[in-house]
Amino acid sequence: MFTRKGDTGETDTGERKRVSKSSMIIGFQGDLDSLISFIGDALVSSRWDDVKEDLARVQNDLYTLGEEIITSGKKRTLDPGAVSWLEERTIAIKKEVGRIKLFVVPGGSRESTSLHIARTVCRDAERSLVSVSETTTIRPELLQYMNRLSSLLFFHSLVSNKRLGIEERIWDIGRES
């Protein structure tokens, strides 16, 4: 379907305001769309129900977070317990992973790598949201959510390799190249 309304480089916000497609808020929405898609890739790549359930919930949360931003909170808003849930899930997965060494080199398995990619895209979306927050009032929980989400994705990537019996590659920060 074609509306042709965007042919001039503008689009509608959730409040039906016309804005440039290069605006920060539309840039954030694009980064969020990428993140939701990469999380979908990680979800279908995963072999474990707990990871799939977490990622499905995250996708729904991200749609709600995006709606809250684009409508200035006039429609659905992110559940106040969403940040706590991310923290609880991250702690649970970290216990299974055990002690980690930094810096982990992404790879090992398809499952782990897709989660690392989603984590890096999450950081992009988080930076875009920070830019939006510099000119638009948003709830602090939204920034917290994005920050905690990258941690959950990181630990899901580690637990994926662990469950497959794949040892993480660690970049040795102190070694000369």
Q: Is 21 within 8 Å of 124 (Cβ atoms)?
A: no
CB-based contacts of 80: which residues, under 8 Å, 6+ apart?
141
Q: How far, in Å, CA of 43 to CA of 21, rounded?
A: 29
* Tokens encoding 118: 């989603």
* Structure token pair of residue 110: 């398809």
Position 137, amino acid: T
Summarize pLDDT for 54-82 with one digit per residue, the tens: 999 999 999 999 999 988 888 899 999 99
Residues 118-161: tens digit of each pLDDT? 999 999 999 999 999 999 999 999 999 999 999 999 999 999 99
Do 149 and 58 meet the contact criterion of CB atoms below 8 Å apart? yes
Residue-level pLDDT at 9: 77
pLDDT of residue 77: 95
* Structural domains in the chain, sorted by start: 10-170 (1.20.1200.10)
For residue 177, pLDDT beyond 70: no
| Residue 3: predicted pLDDT | 78
| Residues 10-38: tens digit of each pLDDT | 667 766 777 666 678 889 999 999 999 99
| pLDDT tens per residue across span 80-129 | 999 999 999 999 999 999 998 778 999 999 999 999 999 999 999 999 99
**H or E element that contains 18:** strand 18-20
User: Helix count (H) and strand count (E) of the chain?
Assistant: 5, 4
CB 121 within 8 A of CB 35: yes
Please tell me the pTM assigned to this model: 0.90
Q: What is the pLDDT of residue 21?
A: 60
The whole-chain average pLDDT of the chain stands at: 91
